[in-house]
Structure 1
Amino acid sequence: MASILSVSGSPSHTSRTTRLLRHLDDRLRLQGHDVTPLEVRTLPPQALLGADLRHPAITAAAALFEQADGVVIGTPVYKAAYSGLLKSLLDLLPQYALTGKTVLPLATGGSTAHVLAIDYALRPVLSSMGASHIVPGWFTLDKDLAVGDDGTLTVAPAAATALEQVTDHFSSALGGRTTVLAPTG
């Protein structure tokens, strides 16, 4: 199956965006894909903000993009756009880092007023980076993502169904199955 890089552009260590991505990563793994998570917030801030292209963490992140068949990009929406943290990483990647990649853009936010951020802010950047196929993305309202005291994510039923559909479409675009295999063990 495909090798997928799942990138969280959230600066928060308690991020619903990151938890949502890890939830979807599990679905993609059950569909037979190899998924590697990347949380941009764990990269050295000095390297990101200082545009240190030679920093080992930045070169390692660029290599993850290069090795992936598909990329899931998740971001919270701030001020009607994707996060500045995500932008910092994307700016350091080679111009055509997404060439030949299938990309699934996802966003979370507090208001439906930001739903177009995927299409008008994020999609043009992904396209300019050479993505061969950007599948329809999805915006999830913060109110549809509940985090329990144990850190477990619960997704509201309607949002969960929509997210399963976009995830399955992404899997299919990568040549994978859209059925979930039963966990073993």
Structure 2
Amino acid sequence: MARILSVSGSPSPTSRTTRLLRHLDERLGWQGHDVTNLEVRTLPAQALLGADFRDPAIVAATELFARADGIVIGTPVYKAAYSGLLKSLLDLLPQYALTGKTVLPLATGGSTAHVLAIDYALRPVLSSMGAAHIVPGWFTLDKDITGEGGAGPLTPAAAKAVEEVTDYFSAALGGRTNTFASTG
């Protein structure tokens, strides 16, 4: 199966974006993929803001991108664009860091006014970085990402949509797309 890097561009330690990604990662794991998580907020701020390409944490993150067959990029939407934190990491990666990769962009936000942020803000950057295939992304409203407890991290409708997006991404990677019972 494929090696997948799941990247959260959220600056928040209690991020809905990260909860959405972990839900998706779990499904990809069930499908036999090897998933590695990267939370950009855990990288050294000085290295990100100072464009320190040689910082050991930045070098390690760059290597994670290089080893991955597929990349899931998750970000909250701020001011109709992906997070500045994610941008700071993408700016430090080599120009063609996504060459040959299949990429799934995901975004979260407070209103449907931000739904086009994936296509107008994030997709062009991913394309310019050489992604071989950027599958259709998915926008999830914050209100559809529920608390940590209960029936699951997503409302049933959001869980169903994310499962379909995940299965499509998995198929694009050449993986199994077995349908599993909803977790939400």
TM-score by length of 2: 0.95
> Is the deviation greater in 152-161 or in 93-102?
152-161
- Cα-to-partner distance string for 1:30-57 (whole Å, 9 max, x where unaligned): 0000000000000000000000000000
Shift of 1:164: 0.5
Cα separation, partners in 2 of 1:180 and 1:32, compared to 1, 3 Å? farther
Matched to 1:29, the amino acid is: G
Q: What percent of counterpart residues are identical?
A: 81
Equivalent pair of 2:99/2:131 in contact (CA under 8 Å) = yes
Report the residue type matching 1:165 in the other structure. E
Q: Secondary structure at the match of 1:95?
A: coil
Q: How far apart, in 1, do the equivalents of 2:132 and 2:26 lie? A: 24
- The structural deviation recorded for 1:24 is 0.6
Q: Distance in 1 between matches of 2:99 and 2:137?
A: 18
Aligned residue identity for 1:6: S
Residue 48 of structure 2: aligned partner? 48
Aligned residues: 181
The aligned counterpart of 2:28 is 28
TM alignment of 1:91-170, pairs within 5 A: 91-148=91-148, 153-170=152-169
Aligned to 1:63: 63
Question: Any conservation in 2 of the 1:27–1:180 contact (CA below 8 Å)?
Answer: no
Secondary structure of 1:146 counterpart: coil
Shift of 1:154: 2.3
4+ residue runs over 3 A deviation: 150-153
Does the 8 Å CA contact 2:23/2:153 hold for their aligned counterparts?
A: no
Q: Give, in whole Å, the separation in 1 of the partners of 2:13 and 2:150.
A: 12
Please name the residue that 2:84 is paired with: 84
Report the aligned-residue RMSD. Answer: 1.5
How far 1:152 moved relative to its partner? Answer: 8.2
Contact 2:96 2:128 in 1 (8 A): yes
Aligned 8 A contact 1:137 1:166 in 2 = yes
Write the distance in 2 (CA, Å) between the matches of 1:28 and 1:180.
11
| CA spacing shift, 1:89–1:68, aligned 2, 3 Å | same
Provide closer, same or farther for how the CA distance between residues 11 and 151 of structure 1 changes in structure 2, counting only shifts above 3 A: farther
The normalised TM-score by structure 1 is 0.95
Confirm whether residue 175 of structure 1 aligns to residue 174 of structure 2: yes
Pair 1:25–1:123, CA change in 2 (3 A): same
Does the 8 Å CA contact 1:9/1:76 hold for their aligned counterparts? Answer: yes
- Structure 2 portions without partners, runs of 5+: none
Q: Measured at CA, do residues 151 and 130 of structure 1 come closer, stay the same or move farther in structure 2, by a change above 3 Å?
A: farther
Alpha-carbon distance, 1:176 to partner: 0.0
The verdict on how the C-alpha distance between 1:94 and 1:116 changes in structure 2, with shifts beyond 3 A counting, is same
Measured against aligned partners, the alpha-carbon deviations of 1:17-74 in whole angstroms (never above 9, x if no partner) come to: 0011011100000000000000000000000000000000000000000000000000
Secondary structure of 1:21's aligned partner: helix
